[in-house]
Copies of this chain bind each other. A is one copy, B any other.
């Protein structure tokens, strides 16, 4: 499939039928007019053969709709570039890699920052017992992993990382409402730059709504989303460290 042009469209029951299910709420009272508005709205979004299959009042002023529609929009699948970091080494390979290429224990400091109190994600990456049968970084013989927990301010995190001469900072952000994570993540980088330590360590972010793309945009070295395993981030960190050293030396 690769190489040649591969235009794709959603599939309902026939190739390229473009079938899509939608649901949304409109701020209008439930009525035949509301149904028609929902239909027209879906048309505006570019769907055709739009069917408002269900509508229900949510209050005097809002109506909920379920819609099926079809679209002729297509995407060239071959042009899709994945920025996600695909799994590379496993637990043993990472340790060997460090022994061979870095030749010392590396230091990694992690925290869930700001007012965010979700520890489970960063724990999954760092704690001994790990996550879904994948050992956490604390278990890696060649990694010194310090998990500061949650509700850590950016200042505290940087202070600790500098103090320990860390090779990498791991930041977890789970609460994303009103884009609070963007603010928080941006602040960290600005603070590090202000303190002149940004270039001294890798900075990696993670969380269910974090993508590598977003992290790169915000000045991080990488970002990891839902379903990340410890070895994914470990692989990235050690390879990046070696790569950076190669460049700088």
Interface residues of A (CB under 8 A from B): 8-12, 15, 19-28, 31-33, 35-37, 40-41, 44-46, 51, 62, 71, 73, 75, 77, 80-84, 86, 209
Provide the bound-state CA to CA distance between A33 and B81, in Å. 7
Contacting pair B8 A75 (CB below 8 A)? no
Give the distance to chain B from A219, nearest Cβ to Cβ, in Å: 20
Q: Given A10-B25, A45-B45, A81 and B36 touching (CB < 8 A)? A: yes
Q: How many chain copies?
A: 2
Contacting pair B24 A80 (CB below 8 A)? no
Contacting pair B80 A33 (CB below 8 A)? yes
Chain B residues with CB under 8 Å of A20's CB are 22-24
Chain B residues with CB under 8 Å of A28's CB are 8, 77
Provide the bound-state CA to CA distance between A12 and B27, in Å. 10
Give the distance to chain B from A70, nearest Cβ to Cβ, in Å: 10
Chain B residues with CB under 8 Å of A27's CB are 8-9, 11, 15
A–B Cβ pairs within 8 angstroms, 14 of them: A10-B25, A10-B41, A20-B23, A20-B24, A21-B24, A22-B22, A32-B82, A33-B82, A36-B81, A36-B84, A37-B80, A40-B75, A41-B75, A45-B71
Contacting pair B41 A24 (CB below 8 A)? no
Contacting pair B32 A11 (CB below 8 A)? no
* A79 to B, closest residue via Cβ: B40
Provide the bound-state CA to CA distance between A107 and B209, in Å. 63
Not counting A10-B24, A11-B24, A36-B80, a sample of 4 additional A-B residue pairs whose C-beta atoms are within 8 angstroms of each other reads A11-B27, A32-B84, A40-B75, A45-B71
Give the distance to chain B from A51, nearest Cβ to Cβ, in Å: 7
Provide the bound-state CA to CA distance between A11 and B77, in Å. 31
Q: Given A37-B77, A80-B40, A62 and B11 touching (CB < 8 A)? A: yes
